[in-house]
């Protein structure tokens, strides 16, 4: 290849690299830019949600504890959840004070109970999760890690026992 052909090829390649860098989306730098959305997939995610306590909603502690949200650690390492929060659209908030082992889950119940490795309790005397709501999980810095909504999709007003998988 001639010297001028190599120069032209090098110029074209350099120009292409500059154009590709300029075309990257603003979020590609790994920052949120004020949009309150996760910039990377967290190992801590919301799992199953039972938002409508099965049976009669009589306000008993048993009925309150039948309403829950599962938080799952999908990584191979334990994660310190101290200071993390789980909240609904009305800003009712539960603050974690635990370490979640690798590849395990904890169920956050609404009512009163004794915390264990697999079940924690918000110690509330009234229901949290409405038939149309959003569960939001935030880390100890207030960054949104995951959220799930239900009851707003495709006119979805049916009562199907309350469980919602990933949406």
What are the residues facing 121 on neighbouring strands?
109
What digits encode the pLDDT tens for the residues 113-126? Answer: 999 999 999 999 99
Q: What percent of the chain clears pLDDT 90, i.e. is strictly above it?
A: 63
Task: Give 95's pLDDT tier (boundaries 50, 70, 90).
Answer: very high
**What is the reported pTM?**
0.70
Answer yes or no: is pLDDT of 145 > 80. Answer: yes
What digits encode the pLDDT tens for the residues 37-51? Answer: 545 679 999 999 999
CA distance 86 to 25: 30
Rounded to 10 degrees, the C-alpha dihedral 34/37/41/47 comes to 150
What digits encode the pLDDT tens for the residues 18-39? Answer: 444 444 443 333 344 444 554 5
Query: Of 116, 118, 108, 117, whose CA–CA distance to 65 is shortest?
Result: 108
Answer yes or no: is pLDDT of 154 > 90. Answer: no
Mean pLDDT, the chain, as a whole number? Answer: 81
What are the residues facing 109 on neighbouring strands?
68, 121
pLDDT at 131: 93
Specify the 3-state DSSP secondary structure of 35. coil
Answer yes or no: is pLDDT of 161 > 50. Answer: no
pLDDT at 31: 40
At 102, list the tokens: 């690798």
- According to DSSP, the β-strands at 85-87 and 93-95 are antiparallel
Could you tell me which residues come within 8 angstroms of residue 20 by beta carbon, excluding any fewer than 6 positions away? Answer: none
């Amino acid at each position: 290849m001639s010297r001028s052909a190599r120069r032209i090829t090098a110029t074209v390649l350099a120009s292409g690299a500059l154009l590709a860098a300029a075309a990257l989306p603003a979020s590609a730098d790994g920052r949120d830019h004020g949009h309150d959305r996760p910039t990377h997939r967290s190992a801590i995610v919301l799992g199953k949600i039972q938002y409508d306590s099965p049976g009669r909603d009589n306000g008993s502690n048993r009925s309150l504890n039948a309403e829950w949200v599962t938080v799952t650690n999908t990584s191979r390492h334990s994660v310190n959840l101290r200071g993390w929060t789980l909240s609904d659209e009305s800003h009712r908030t539960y603050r974690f004070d635990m370490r979640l082992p690798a590849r395990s889950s904890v169920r956050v119940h609404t009512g009163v109970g004794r915390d264990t490795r697999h079940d924690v309790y918000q110690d509330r005397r009234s229901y949290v999760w409405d038939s149309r709501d959003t569960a939001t999980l935030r880390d100890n810095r207030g960054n949104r890690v995951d959220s799930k909504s239900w009851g707003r999709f495709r006119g979805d007003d049916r009562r199907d026992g309350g469980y919602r998988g990933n949406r």
